[in-house]
């Protein structure tokens, strides 16, 4: 009875109901039977425990799976570095060292650029649009096709939402200021900055502050105020920029070894999808609630809030479009995801101009 209640209340909470995947599987979600096997998995993650919202949401995902199977399916998450560094979580799961992992695809776009669409790309979709694309716009099916070639299956497991544009030791006014800039940034945002002359490094969360202190880098793109404060980035840099045009709606993923996935009983598969979907929406809600207060604390500690100039954003937008068109012309896998994604973005932008833009512009400027 307890498992049945959890399936009804936990997997079908208000946040999870917003996703098609949850609605579809929850309506027929089986309850784990006493005869089901006991299974123990390990999960490598790309995140340290110090990022408490991120890591506790992953722990909650794993706890949901245990609760809904009566303790028979147990997944133990490990912080970054315990099993693998951030950039190697995918390999760990592909090779079967662990059965699953929680990471963000931005660490792997140097190998497969099309994976950037799940993690977030420059001038891409915001959080709500990203969820619409993944669950209702064919995004999950398109990216699962790519991951299957790697022996994996993926599910969204944490929408991070709107972020910040990063930390800089000197002011950024034009794209020329990017030339020679030593910056930590992953994904296609990193590829774009390389094209604009920056010296890009891909570092895991646990590696960023030491690199800043040692002056191996002079700028950092990471997440939002809450996690950036947790990492102590304000202690080593001065200027905090917005907006985050390189990842407007980033999402984490649950990666599962395909062979291990196929050995799971069907109800275990359903339960794991339910737990991942709830974690996906819960993470967005938690960050949305926490980032405002964290930004206020940072500003009170002397951080200087800056905004990228319209000229800078326009120049980087044009460079991003050129990069995507070039990738689409050269990489069939990228083109297969990009063309329908671009059409989806065009349609949803038309709708959001009507239903959101006018009100948001007024509300944000109206004050309290």
Distance in Å from the first CA to the final CA of the chain: 47
Cβ atoms of 279 and 157 closer than 8 Å: yes
Nearest CA among 274, 279, 268 for reference residue 69: 268
**Cα atoms in the 13 Å half-sphere on the side-chain side of 122:** 25
Write out the binding residues for Na(+): 222
List the structure tokens of 327.
């990738």
Residue positions forming the annotated binding site: 163, 184, 221-222, 247
Q: Judge contact between 131 and 159, C-beta under 8 A.
A: yes
Annotated binding site for substrate: 163, 184, 221, 247
Question: For residue 167, what are the β-bridge partners?
Answer: 220, 240
Q: How far apart are CA 262 and CA 105, in angstroms?
A: 22
Nearest alpha carbon to residue 117 among 335, 268, 263: 335
Cis before 243? omega within 30: yes
**Ramachandran class of 68: left when φ > 0, alpha when ψ lies in -120 to 50, beta otherwise:** alpha
Dmax (CA) of the chain: 65
The encoded tokens of residue 83 equal 């099993």
């Amino acid at each position: 009875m307890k498992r049945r209640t959890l399936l009804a209340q936990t997997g079908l909470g208000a946040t999870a109901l917003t996703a098609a995947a949850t609605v579809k599987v929850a309506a027929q979600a089986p309850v784990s039977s006493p005869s089901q096997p006991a299974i123990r998995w390990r999960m490598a993650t790309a995140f340290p425990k110090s990022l408490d919202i991120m890591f506790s949401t992953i722990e909650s995902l794993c706890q949901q799976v245990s609760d809904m199977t009566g303790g028979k399916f147990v997944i133990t998450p490990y912080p970054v570095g315990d099993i693998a560094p951030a950039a190697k979580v995918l390999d760990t799961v592909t090779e079967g060292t662990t059965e699953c992992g929680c990471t963000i695809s931005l660490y792997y776009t140097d190998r497969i650029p099309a994976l950037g669409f799940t993690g977030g790309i420059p001038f891409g979709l915001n959080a709500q649009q990203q969820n619409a694309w993944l669950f209702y716009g064919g995004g999950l099916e398109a990216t699962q096709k790519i991951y299957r070639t790697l022996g994996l299956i993926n599910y969204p497991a944490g929408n991070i939402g709107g972020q910040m544009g990063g930390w800089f030791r000197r002011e950024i006014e034009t794209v020329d200021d990017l030339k020679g800039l030593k910056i930590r940034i992953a994904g296609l945002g990193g590829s774009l900055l390389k094209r604009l002359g920056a010296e890009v490094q891909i570092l895991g969360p646990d590696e960023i502050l030491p690199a800043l202190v040692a002056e191996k880098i002079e700028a950092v793109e990471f997440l939002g105020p809450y996690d950036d404060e947790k990492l102590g980035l304000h202690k080593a840099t001065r200027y905090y920029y917005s907006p985050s045009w390189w990842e407007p709606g980033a999402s984490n993923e649950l990666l599962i070894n395909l062979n291990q996935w196929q050995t799971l009983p069907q109800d275990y598969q359903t339960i794991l999808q339910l737990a991942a979907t709830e974690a996906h929406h819960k993470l967005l809600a938690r960050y949305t609630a926490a980032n405002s207060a964290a930004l206020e604390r940072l500003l009170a500690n002397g951080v200087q809030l800056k905004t990228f100039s319209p000229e800078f954003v326009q120049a980087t937008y044009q460079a991003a479009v050129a990069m995507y068109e070039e990738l689409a012309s050269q990489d069939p896998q990228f083109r297969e995801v990009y063309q329908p994604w671009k059409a989806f973005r065009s349609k949803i932008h038309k709708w959001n101009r009507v239903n959101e833009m006018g009100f948001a512009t007024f509300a944000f400027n109206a004050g309290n």
